[in-house]
Amino acid sequence: MSDKQPGFDTLQIHAGARPDPATGARQVPIYQSTAFVFRDADHAAALFNLQELGYIYSRLTNPTVSALQERMATLEGGAGAVCCSSGHAAQIMALFPLMGPGLNIVTSNRLYGGTVTQFSQTIKRFGWSAKFVDTEDLAAVEAAIDDNTRAIFCESIANPGGYITDIDALAAIADRNGIPLIVDNTTATPYLCRPIEHGATLVVHSLTKYLTGNGTVTGGCIIDSGKFNWSNGKFPSFSEPEPAYHGLKFHETFGHLAFTFHSIAIGLRDLGMTMNPQAAHYTLMGIETLSLRMERHCANAVKVAKWLEQDPRVAYVTYAGLPSSPYHDRVARICPKGASALFTFSLKAGYEACVKLIDSVNLFSHVANLGDTRSLIIHSASTTHRQLTEAQQIAAGAAPDVVRLSIGLEDPEDIIADLDQALAKATA
């Protein structure tokens, strides 16, 4: 064996997995057990004091979920990872130790529709708030940060238009202000983009999408870079004594694993947004072929986007993988292996034609999901971005005359033929 770090294709299959010590099972077993037997009373006490690592109860840790956590941490180049029940759970779990009543985040306005709602409405119930800014305007990002700001949030490849965020530029602003940069890497996956290499502190995922890859389970994950100084005075959850663990200080005790340990020992323990071992198993299976799928997703998306771009019925296509995209140069820097397979296009015939197009497709599935093996279509303005005002929809890239595609792994000729016949009906 050489000392060289194995490549991505090797790690997506092997990271976090080893033959089962009890049975030799080669595939990661589904440890469908709520509780784990303690060796004796001392062992139990050490586990509860966080002095020894081990399994207690599956709300906190489970061996199948642990394998997935280790695989995600490895693929993203992080120090540790915590899985949870969905992408939205991951976002709350990421913010939970950073935030408190009266504190805020500064976030990109180009986000998954559900995230816009979570940040603009639901987090207010915790006394948190979000300031939405156009992250192309770096001065506006900097100006939005105040003494109560505890994070900057963005998506690497942003919903719904496939816009590419300048992660390095946002990381520099976060650094200057002593706050973490949180990057939602769902649409890119660690195969296309590794936000930690661009300065991200935390990476969040909806594992529901490309990571699992075939639309079977929901899941989320937070990966910690392990590089942030949590003892800069702004993050008492990590730097101050924790009463529930006899005054233990997470940052002092666990160092670069402070966030990971806190998320398990406090976050999962008390919020309970736990991933179940079945879901972890499906996601582990999906990740084994991640690079192969993403390569094909990207190749198909390029073909479909190019075809749409030259079609006279189409006003514009937002795919960053097109040479005509204003973000094309950023692809080479942020996601050099491709711009994923999520983008929007606009119909010259407007809103009614978009709705008719959706009702006329055969191969495409009309669903509120992305990152499936199947090609998916949705009219964001009337569905995922429905709760937003028209101004918010336009800012988010989900204007009323825009349709979102998630290009699947079918033959590209079949995908294009389906769009062609549906466009004919929609614009007749």
Among 96, 112, 261, 345, binds ligand PLP (CB under 6 A): 112
Q: How many CB atoms lie within 10 A of CB 368?
A: 11
Measured from the CB of residue 341, what is the shortest distance to ligand PLP in angstroms?
Answer: 12
In angstroms, rounded to a whole number, what is the distance separating the alpha carbons of residues 48 and 244?
A: 11
Instruction: Report the residue number, 119 or 230, with the smaller CB distance to ligand PLP.
Output: 119
Residue 302 near residue 290, CB atoms below 8 Å: no
Among 16, 63, 87, 180, binds ligand PLP (CB under 6 A): 87
3-state DSSP of the chain: CCCCCCCHHHHHHHCCCCCCCCCCCCCCCCCCCCECCCCCHHHHHHHHCCCCCCCCECCCCCHHHHHHHHHHHHHHCCCEEEEECCHHHHHHHHHCCCCCCCCEEEEECCCCHHHHHHHHCHHHHHCCEEEEECCCCHHHHHHHCCCCEEEEEEECEECCCCEECCHHHHHHHHHHCCCCEEEECCCCHHHHCCHHHHCCCEEEEECCCCCCCCCCCCCEEEEECCCCCCCCCCCHHHHCCEHHHCCECHHHHHHHHHHHHHHHHHHHHHHCCCCCHHHHHHHHHHHCCHHHHHHHHHHHHHHHHHHHHCCCCEEEECCCCCCCCCCHHHHHHHCCCCCCCEEEEEECCCHHHHHHHHHHCCCCEECCCCCCCCCEEECHHHCCCCCCCHHHHHHCCCCCCEEEEECCCCCHHHHHHHHHHHHHHHCC
Measured from the CB of residue 274, what is the shortest distance to ligand PLP in angstroms?
Answer: 14
Stretch that binds ligand PLP, among 3-11, 180-188, 235-243, 333-341 (CB under 6 A): 180-188
Verify binding: residue 340, ligand PLP, rule CB under 6 A: no
Among 58, 61, 69, 159, binds ligand PLP (CB under 6 A): 159
Instruction: Report the residue number, 369 or 421, with the smaller CB distance to ligand PLP.
Output: 369
Measured from the CB of residue 7, what is the shortest distance to ligand PLP in angstroms?
Answer: 26
Verify binding: residue 218, ligand PLP, rule CB under 6 A: yes
Stretch that binds ligand PLP, among 82-90, 244-252, 267-275, 405-413 (CB under 6 A): 82-90
Measured from the CB of residue 122, what is the shortest distance to ligand PLP in angstroms?
Answer: 13
Stretch that binds ligand PLP, among 20-28, 76-84, 206-214, 277-285 (CB under 6 A): 206-214
Measured from the CB of residue 210, what is the shortest distance to ligand PLP in angstroms?
Answer: 9
Stretch that binds ligand PLP, among 123-131, 138-146, 203-211, 261-269 (CB under 6 A): 203-211
Burial of 25 (0-12, 13-18, 19+ CB in 10 A): exposed
Instruction: Collapse the DSSP code of 162 into the 3-class scheme (helix H, G, I; strand E, B; otherwise coil) and give the result.
Output: coil
Measured from the CB of residue 27, what is the shortest distance to ligand PLP in angstroms?
Answer: 24
Verify binding: residue 297, ligand PLP, rule CB under 6 A: no
Stretch that binds ligand PLP, among 93-101, 205-213, 393-401, 407-415 (CB under 6 A): 205-213
Which residue of this chain has its Cβ atom nearest to ligand PLP in the complex?
87
Binding-site size, ligand PLP (CB under 6 A) = 17
Cβ neighbours of residue 378 under 8 Å, at least 6 residues apart? Answer: 358, 366, 367, 368, 384, 403, 404
Verify binding: residue 404, ligand PLP, rule CB under 6 A: no
Among 209, 234, 262, 293, binds ligand PLP (CB under 6 A): 209
Of 344-373, binders to ligand PLP (CB under 6 A) are 370
The single-letter DSSP state of residue 163 is E
Q: How many CB atoms lie within 10 A of CB 271?
A: 16
Verify binding: residue 186, ligand PLP, rule CB under 6 A: yes
Verify binding: residue 86, ligand PLP, rule CB under 6 A: yes
Measured from the CB of residue 68, what is the shortest distance to ligand PLP in angstroms?
Answer: 14
Write each residue from 253 to 292 as x if it is in contact with ligand PLP (CB under 6 A), else as -, in one continuous string: ----------------------------------------
Verify binding: residue 385, ligand PLP, rule CB under 6 A: no
Measured from the CB of residue 204, what is the shortest distance to ligand PLP in angstroms?
Answer: 8
Measured from the CB of residue 111, what is the shortest distance to ligand PLP in angstroms?
Answer: 7
Verify binding: residue 114, ligand PLP, rule CB under 6 A: yes
Residues that bind ligand PLP (CB under 6 A): 86-88, 112, 114-115, 155, 159, 184, 186-187, 206, 208-209, 218, 220, 370
